Amino acid sequence: MPLTVRRATPDDLAVIVDFNRRLAEESEGKALDRAVLTAGVAAALADPSGKGPYFLAEDGGEVVGQMQVTFEWSDWRNGWFWWIQGVYVRAGSRRRGVFRALYDHVSRAAREEPGVIGLRLYVERDNVAAQQAYLKLGLERTPYQMLERYPL
């Protein structure tokens, strides 16, 4: 059965929380606080235009992958960048085009949205497999490094 991609709804809270928890464990070895994570996902689902929508890939009605998009205004370029984040594909569904389906869906939506000028994402420095997948799709390395101060 072909993969389908749809925008998440509040009914998808449990699967998104589960996928985000797995993503943190698998990619960074982090255990997220379930209450904080659940509240954060619920807030995004309640305000997708402000906090960013989630997109879900389904195979035969089963959710097998997710991607969230958040927004950054660039005054230098007078347009919006869409940041791809929260990418997770269920272990048994990897290497079957799930990420590509999500990426293609979001990429088409970005091209159709006035004012969107590009897509961006960040990736763990040591996650070589993900980096190779992103490069194959036409994403390019930038000269920027990400820095943060967390918690404040």
Tell me if 74 is assigned to some domain: yes
Taking the C-alpha atoms of residue 122 and residue 138, their distance in angstroms, rounded to an integer, is 14
Query: How many domains does the structure of the chain reveal?
Result: 1
2-33 residue pLDDT tens = 899 999 999 999 999 999 999 999 988 999 99
The reply to whether the predicted model has a pTM over 0.85 is: yes
Tell me if 141 is assigned to some domain: no
Tell me if 10 is assigned to some domain: yes
Tell me if 150 is assigned to some domain: no
CATH code, domain carrying 102: 3.40.630.30
Tell me if 29 is assigned to some domain: yes
Average pLDDT in the chain: 96
Q: Which domain range does residue 114 map to? A: 3-136
CB contact at 8 A, 83 and 71: yes
Tell me if 51 is assigned to some domain: yes
Specify the 3-state DSSP secondary structure of 148.
coil
